[in-house]
Amino acid sequence: MPTGKTTASGKPGMRKALWWDHTGPLAVVFAGGPDSHVGDLVLPVRIPQGPGQWARVEHFLANPGRWHKVDLVRRRKASAPGGWVYEAHLMILGPGYTAPAVQQMRRQAAALDRIGGVDGNVSNLSVVSFPASLDPADSAAASTEITLTDAERTLLEKQAKKRRGRARALERSRRSTNTGQYGLSKKQMRRADRRASKGLLEKTVTVPGGARAARTDGVPKQAYRRDRLSEGYRQHRARQAEHAASAAEHRRFRARQIARQIIAAHGPLLVVEDCDIRTWYRLWGKRLSQTTPGMLIAALDAECRAAGGRLVRASTWSTALSQHCLCGERVSKTLRDREHKCTACGLTGKRDLVSAALAAFVRLTDADDPKTAYRDTAMSRHAQIMYGQGLEEALRESTTPRQNTPRGAGCVAVPRQRETSAHRTAAKRPRATPDEPRTMRDHTGKPGHRPGCDPQLTLQ
């Protein structure tokens, strides 16, 4: 193999062409390293095509001085020949690519000079912001509500149905190739008994519907990894994994898009309640995987940083946003009360929007410690007086155009709260638990409120 500048014959000026001389289409060449006798591995590369891709490709490829390494990776793809696609991933020493439109949006967002609050909920996200100067001549209070659209909901239901169907097909396939590992279902057993009593021939069951053959302690007699799996099963499983990956990618994309919309309207200085998403999961389970509020908040955090701002987390315990009014009065609400009605100042609005508006006036002694958060009541009162009618309107209905149509008044479906629900807080609370005797509660049968603690807070 040629390694020098001249060929074996040693004729000066006659040089064998090297890959360095290549000026054709882009290709990745593996020279073989110590095993160079096997020759070069040359892989033609198809660079990303499509509208808007060229600037991105240029960003990564234009400056060879920044190229760091190329990884050759393969990715499962059931529809590709052989079941895999191969990709070359180029890593550069430098920042990633940001589209000019996004850069411009971030610059504009940073120049907005607004302060905002975010109220994350299981089924929606509410954002309210004010001009930082609190000058009514500047611009008005703005609010946004993010909910799942009907189209998105339908799509999610369709996808879930498809997923269930695929899982069933996989299970059927596994059962039919490992008939020895499964017993008959009750129906199949009854049928076999009936046939036996009539003296008919025994019928072979292709897909036994009963339980897996297991030891008395429930461990399967044969480990699942030792099962025989058909080619169809493997293909089906690959397709399912692929589909799940693309759905996850779509969710991330949607979260990023929504985060950008929020920043564009409300600026990159936002406060959100620091809540433990695990508590939500314990309560709502499946509903969460549809709306992904945690993913939205994470995307918002990243977007705020990219625009030069910050998403600050404030503790629920020290602020109790869902239980207060902008005027500073306490307005107790249970999770079912979706409306905020203050008896002291007469402010009415949607519960989540009022919480978000209050979050805009949360200050922190230490921005990195959510526990140091407190409500700046003087500021929120001031804003309430300054914006008056406009603020009430913003708290009643989203002021920014929403990408979707609401599902009707209220927009959120909150399951009925049962009297004997489990603890709604992750930590131990100094109050009566639902399993304690009635004498521990007040006459209404509801858990007694004690000063400084509120049973509904962790959710909001």
Could you list the residues that contact Zn ion (CB under 5 A)? Answer: 325, 327, 329, 342, 344-345, 347
Contacts of 216 (CB under 8 A, 6+ apart): none
Which residues are registered as beta bridge partners of 129?
116, 142
CB of 133 to Zn ion, least distance (A): 23
What's the closest the beta carbon of residue 337 comes to Zn ion, in angstroms? Answer: 15
Cβ contact 326:133 at 8 Å: no
The answer for residues whose C-beta is within 8 angstroms of residue 108's C-beta and 6 or more apart is 264
**How far is Cα of residue 104 from the mean position of the Cα atoms in its chain?**
25
Phi/psi for 373 (5° steps) reads -75, 145
* CB 143 to Zn ion: min, Å: 17
Which own/partner contact pairs does 428-431 have at CB distance under 8 Å and 24+ positions apart?
Answer: 429/453, 429/455, 431/455
DSSP code for 435: T
C-alpha 207/C-alpha 172 separation (Å) is: 7
Q: Minimum Å distance from CB 128 to Zn ion?
A: 15
Least distance from Zn ion to the Cβ atom of residue 291, Å? 30
Toward Zn ion, which CB reaches closer, 347 or 457? 347
What is the closest distance, in whole angstroms, from the C-beta atom of residue 279 to Zn ion in the complex? 28
Which of 229, 316, 332 has its CA nearest to residue 272? Answer: 316
Q: Which is nearer to Zn ion, 1 or 385 (CB)?
A: 385
What minimum distance in Å lies between the beta carbon of 344 and Zn ion? 5
* CB-facing half-sphere around the CA of 273: CA atoms within 13 A: 28
Question: 344 or 440, CB closer to Zn ion?
Answer: 344
Nearer CB in complex with Zn ion: 142/357:
357
175/324 with CB nearer Zn ion: 324
> How far apart are the C-alpha atoms of 273 and 119, rounded to whole Å?
7
Distance separating alpha carbons of residues 15 and 93, to the nearest angstrom: 34
What residues contact residue 55 under an 8 Å CB cut-off, 6+ apart?
A: 97, 99, 100
> Residue 167 or 344: which CB sits closer to Zn ion?
344
* Nearest distance from C-beta of residue 146 to Zn ion, angstroms: 26
Cβ distance to Zn ion smaller for residue 345 or 367 = 345
In the complex with Zn ion, the residue whose CB is nearer, 230 or 348, is 348
